[in-house]
């Protein structure tokens, strides 16, 4: 799957990003192959049913020394990515043998117990962390049913060690890994807890990663879509790129299940049935709509057609000053300049 929007997490795994983005944990020493010391990072107690202590114990790799990924670890790439301060990312899903994904609700996929999602973050060829979300139970309580773990890579990359309490500026970069609790700030916005693995995100063809069509052909879905189903993002190219960015980076918090809904009921998540951009949830929630709590005279409205400089959405995604006005408010320190240009172009093209 090739990325259509070069960008940004949320979510999500977190997610925001299971966003757009995973959100995870701790720091590492670059001095060799030993586990990271204390300080910013805290190791979890193993326990008989607790998370693995090292990435090599998770099943992602068949050979940790050569970084050979196991045959059951299937690589995927969402069409619209969660911005992670320009970090490079790889993603894999591991489905239990013979299991299928519940797609009876095409907008909200449910994964069988035993499913694992991995996301690796790197910069300049240096591995930073790998996040894991596992579906471990079916109690109906998301934070009990899904376990989020993060493994920070050792200096020699011989393995990566579990950390739980979050850390800043790992491996000589300004990359942060938030805590397990922060993971669910984004991932709670999706009932199935996983961000970036969906009908919309996997609809586009790919020569090197699994797609929606591949999942259908392999019998991995309980309710496969019709052969002529169209789950592309609606609108012309400028609109589709902007909507794709908002869906992937904002939609996991800004929807009925998301953490932002109580304070700001604005829906920035697309549904598969939305085929007309002008009647979509994103358009109706933004264009000409007043801000709930404007911070300046320049952001009275969420989107002012033709005027990005007067649009609260554009104003906030252009900031990273550590205040609530910055969007996203977590898991990023740097403005996504490409995404800002994409959203600016969409607003400028809107008829007054």
Confidence of residue 29 (pLDDT cuts 50, 70, 90): very low
List the structure tokens of 178.
Answer: 């938030």
Edge to edge, the sheet with strand 160-163 lists 74-76, 88-94, 116-123, 126-135, 146-153, 160-163
Locate the domains of the chain by residue range. Answer: 234-349
Q: How much is the average pLDDT of 161-185?
A: 86
Q: Which residue from 20, 2, 248, 22 is spatially nearest to 129, judged by alpha carbons?
A: 22
Looking at 48-190, list the stretches that DSSP marks H as alpha helix, in order from N- to C-terminal side.
Answer: 142-145, 180-187
The segment with the largest mean pLDDT, out of 38-52, 179-193, 246-260, 264-278, is 264-278
State the Cα–Cα distance between residues 223 and 325, nearest whole angstrom.
Answer: 41
State the Cα–Cα distance between residues 118 and 92, nearest whole angstrom.
Answer: 5
- Read off the pTM: 0.83
| Three-state secondary-structure class, residue 157 | coil
pLDDT at 295: 64
Q: Which residue from 215, 179, 171 is spatially nearest to 76, judged by alpha carbons?
A: 215
| Three-state secondary-structure class, residue 63 | strand
Q: Cβ of 139: how many Cβ atoms within 10 Å?
A: 9
State the Cα–Cα distance between residues 177 and 131, nearest whole angstrom.
Answer: 10
Environment class of residue 329 by beta-carbon count within 10 Å: exposed (0-12), middle (13-18) or buried (19+)? middle
pLDDT at 258: 83
pLDDT (tens digit, 9 = 90+) per residue, 67-108?
999 999 999 999 999 999 999 999 999 999 999 999 999 999
Confidence of residue 325 (pLDDT cuts 50, 70, 90): confident
With beta carbons less than 8 A apart as the criterion, state whether 217 and 226 touch: no
Q: Which residue from 159, 133, 130, 129 is spatially nearest to 54, judged by alpha carbons?
A: 159
State the Cα–Cα distance between residues 193 and 164, nearest whole angstrom.
Answer: 19
Round the average pLDDT of the chain to a whole number and report it: 85
- For residues 176 and 263, the model is more confident at 176
With beta carbons less than 8 A apart as the criterion, state whether 22 and 11 touch: yes
Give the CA angle between residues 84, 12, 112 to the nearest 5°: 150
List the structure tokens of 125.
Answer: 């060829």
Integer angstrom CA distances of residue 324 from 65, 82, 177, 328: 43, 19, 19, 9
pLDDT at 30: 38
pLDDT (tens digit, 9 = 90+) per residue, 194-228?
999 999 999 999 878 899 999 999 999 999 999 99
pLDDT at 297: 53
Q: How much is the average pLDDT of 272-297?
A: 90
Integer angstrom CA distances of residue 26 from 126, 177, 319: 16, 6, 25
HSE, CB side, 13 Å, CA atoms: give it for residue 305. 10
Q: How much is the average pLDDT of 168-175?
A: 95
pLDDT at 234: 98
- For residues 164 and 26, the model is more confident at 164
pLDDT (tens digit, 9 = 90+) per residue, 124-134?
999 999 999 99
Paired strand residues for 151: 130, 162
With beta carbons less than 8 A apart as the criterion, state whether 26 and 167 touch: yes
Quick one: which H or E segment has residue 134? strand 126-135
Confidence of residue 296 (pLDDT cuts 50, 70, 90): low
For 216, list phi and psi in degrees, rounded to 5.
-65, -50
Question: Residue 179 pLDDT > 90, yes or no?
Answer: no
Cα-Cα-Cα-Cα torsion 314, 317, 323, 325, nearest 10 degrees, comes to 30
Confidence of residue 7 (pLDDT cuts 50, 70, 90): very low
Confidence of residue 308 (pLDDT cuts 50, 70, 90): very high
Q: How much is the average pLDDT of 169-189?
A: 83
Q: How much is the average pLDDT of 51-78?
A: 97
Least confident among 45-54, 111-120, 153-162, 173-182:
45-54
């Amino acid at each position: 799957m090739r990325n259509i929007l070069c960008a940004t997490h949320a979510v999500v795994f977190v997610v925001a990003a299971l966003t757009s983005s995973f959100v995870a944990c701790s720091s590492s020493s670059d001095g060799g192959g030993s586990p990271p010391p204390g300080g910013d990072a805290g190791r979890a107690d193993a326990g008989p049913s607790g998370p693995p202590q090292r990435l090599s114990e998770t099943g992602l790799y068949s050979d940790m020394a050569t970084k050979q990924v196991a045959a059951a670890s299937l690589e995927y790439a969402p069409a619209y990515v969660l911005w992670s301060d320009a970090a490079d990312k790889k993603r894999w899903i591991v489905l239990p043998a013979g299991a299928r994904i519940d797609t009876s609700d095409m907008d909200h996929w449910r994964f069988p117990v035993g499913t694992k999602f991995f996301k690796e973050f790197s910069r300049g060829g240096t591995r930073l962390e790998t996040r894991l979300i596992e579906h471990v139970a079916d109690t109906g309580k998301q934070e009990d049913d899904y376990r989020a773990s993060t493994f920070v890579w050792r200096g020699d990359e011989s393995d990566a060690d579990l950390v739980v309490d979050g850390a800043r500026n790992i491996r000589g970069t300004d990359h942060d890994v938030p805590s397990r609790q922060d993971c669910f700030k984004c991932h709670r916005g999706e009932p199935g807890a996983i961000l970036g693995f969906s009908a919309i995100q996997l609809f586009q063809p790919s020569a090197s990663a699994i797609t929606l069509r591949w999942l259908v052909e392999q019998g991995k879905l309980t309710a496969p879509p019709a052969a002529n189903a169209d789950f592309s993002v609606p609108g012309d190219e400028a609109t589709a790129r902007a909507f794709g960015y908002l869906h992937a980076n904002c939609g996991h918090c800004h929807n009925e299940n998301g953490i932002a809904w109580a304070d700001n009921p604005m829906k920035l998540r697309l549904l598969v049935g939305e085929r007309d951009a002008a009647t979509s949830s994103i358009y109706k929630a933004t264009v000409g709509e007043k801000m709930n709590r404007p911070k300046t005279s320049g952001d009275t409205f969420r989107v002012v057609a033709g005027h990005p400089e007067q649009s609260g959405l554009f104003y906030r995604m252009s900031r990273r000053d550590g205040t609530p006005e910055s969007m996203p408010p977590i898991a990023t320190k740097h403005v996504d300049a490409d995404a800002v240009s994409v959203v600016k172009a969409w607003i400028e093209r809107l008829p007054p």
